[in-house]
Amino acid sequence: MSEMRIRTARCDDLARINEIYNYYVVNTPVTFDVEPYTMERREAWFSQFATTGRHRLLVAEENEVVIGYAGTTRFRPKAAYEPTVETTVYCAPEAVGKGIGKRLYAELFASLKGEDIHRFVAGYVLPNVATEALHRRFGFKVVGVFRENGRKFGKYWDVCWVERPG
């Protein structure tokens, strides 16, 4: 049995991160991107993360293969929003249901202790029982649902927004 480890993401993880994310772009409504990310776009996205500070990116790795990732990004560009970060978590489709999201979030929140973060926020498409349970487990509370605010696959989707203290 192999052991999973959580570590800071590196540039050489980007192709696998892209592969995981693009699966969800093409096959599910969980992201409202409708076109797969190019590597150029993924590299630009990666530039927002650091090993210290509010914006981090971690990966879960098993047998030297990335099987999931979680991070925190800027919530909005205006300066007053700086102490609020948005979380994201994705698992490789073949690794869903193995507790990877839980391990990633636990490590992510532990790594951010002491940072100037007042609120963590997250949005997820409904229905999404697993993501709802994950966020509830980490103390997120529902603050609202935007009804039919995204259209993908010819259907409108609701998005639930949650938050927790930093």
pLDDT band of residue 19 (cuts 50, 70, 90) is very high
Structure confidence by residue, pLDDT tens digits, 30-43: 999 999 999 999 99
The encoded tokens of residue 43 equal 């590299």
Total-model pTM: 0.96
Cβ-based burial of 73 (10 A; exposed 0-12, middle 13-18, buried ≥19): middle
Dihedral (Cα; 45, 51, 114, 69), 10-degree rounding:
60
User: How far apart (Å, rounded) are the C-alpha atoms in residues 89 and 58?
Assistant: 9
User: How far apart (Å, rounded) are the C-alpha atoms in residues 128 and 164?
Assistant: 19
User: For position 155, what pLDDT does the model report?
Assistant: 97
Region for residue 16 given its phi and psi (left: phi exceeds 0; alpha: psi -120 to 50; beta: otherwise): alpha
- Average pLDDT of the chain is 97
In the block, residue with structure tokens 């052991």: 3
Q: Which residues contact 155 (CB under 8 A, 6 or more apart)?
A: 29
Structure confidence by residue, pLDDT tens digits, 84-131: 999 999 999 999 999 999 999 999 999 999 999 999 999 999 999 999
The pLDDT of residue 1 is above 60: no
